[in-house]
């Protein structure tokens, strides 16, 4: 399953990217974020891996992030692997003429087992969840940069 999402952030690209690139900000815009621990390589390095932990309701979710491209401010992409789910997310930041930033994500999911069934039955739920995260980041960035 592949899809894209985009949102316009009312702030300059360099400032938006600086917020996005700081792992200390993850808890400020990703609900349920618990921790991030580098397990191989160096932070921000292509090929590096980090363990991400989330608490979603009563569920604890662990995934491994592997950076596949790191060329900010243009692009940051990574794969995210959890039980029965592989997800590639390409984040792109484009400068708009009015000093705003277009934030685009290209998403690809591959699933197994029960997750594959869920994706087949409710494909719109994945895009909706991705769009929510863009909105959370937009709200965080605009509030943070308004100060």
Q: Within a domain: residue 80?
A: yes
The pLDDT of residue 126 is 74
Which residues face 146 on adjacent strands? none
Dmax (CA) of the chain: 46
| Structural domain includes residue 18 | yes
* Residue 133 confidence (pLDDT) above 70: yes
Indicate whether 14 pLDDT > 70: yes
Residue 46 lies in a domain: no
Burial 28-42 (b: 16+ CB within 10 A, else e): bbeeebeeeeeeeee
Average pLDDT for residues 67-77, to the nearest whole number? 96
Q: How many domains does the chain have?
A: 1
Q: Tell the burial category of 47 from Cβ atoms under 10 Å away from its Cβ (0-12, 13-18, 19+).
A: exposed
112 domain-assigned: yes
Task: Give domain status of residue 47, yes or no.
Answer: no
Is residue 13 in a domain?
Answer: yes
User: What's the rounded mean pLDDT across residues 93-122?
Assistant: 82
pLDDT in tens, 74-96: 999 999 999 888 999 999 999 99
The answer to whether 9 and 142 have CB atoms below 8 angstroms apart is yes
Task: Provide the CATH number for the domain around residue 89.
Answer: 3.30.530.20
Residue 20 domain boundaries: 2-29+72-146
The per-residue pLDDT for 56 is 86
In a domain, 50, yes or no: no
* Residue 85 within a domain: yes
pLDDT band at 128 (very low <50, low <70, confident <90, very high): confident
- The per-residue pLDDT for range 29-66, each reduced to its tens digit, is 999 999 999 999 998 899 999 999 999 889 899 999 99
Question: Helices 123-146 and 113-121, interaxial angle, to 10°?
Answer: 90
Q: How confident is the model at residue 72 (pLDDT cuts 50, 70, 90)?
A: very high
More confident residue, 97 or 13: 13
- pTM value surpassing 0.85: yes
């Amino acid at each position: 399953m592949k899809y894209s999402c985009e949102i316009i952030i009312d702030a300059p690209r360099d400032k938006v990217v600086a917020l996005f690139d700081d792992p200390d900000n993850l808890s400020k815009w990703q609900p349920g974020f618990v921790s991030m621990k580098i397990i191989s390589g160096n932070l921000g390095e292509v090929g590096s891996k980090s363990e991400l932990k989330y608490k979603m309701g009563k569920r604890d979710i662990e995934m491994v992030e592997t950076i596949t491209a790191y060329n900010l401010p243009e692009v940051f992409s990574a794969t995210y692997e959890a039980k029965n789910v592989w997800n590639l997310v390409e984040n792109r930041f484009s400068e708009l003429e009015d000093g705003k930033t277009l934030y685009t994500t290209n998403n690809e999911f591959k699933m197994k087992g029960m997750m594959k069934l869920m994706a087949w039955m409710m494909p719109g739920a994945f895009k909706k969840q991705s769009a929510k995260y863009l909105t959370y980041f937009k709200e965080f960035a605009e509030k943070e940069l308004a100060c």
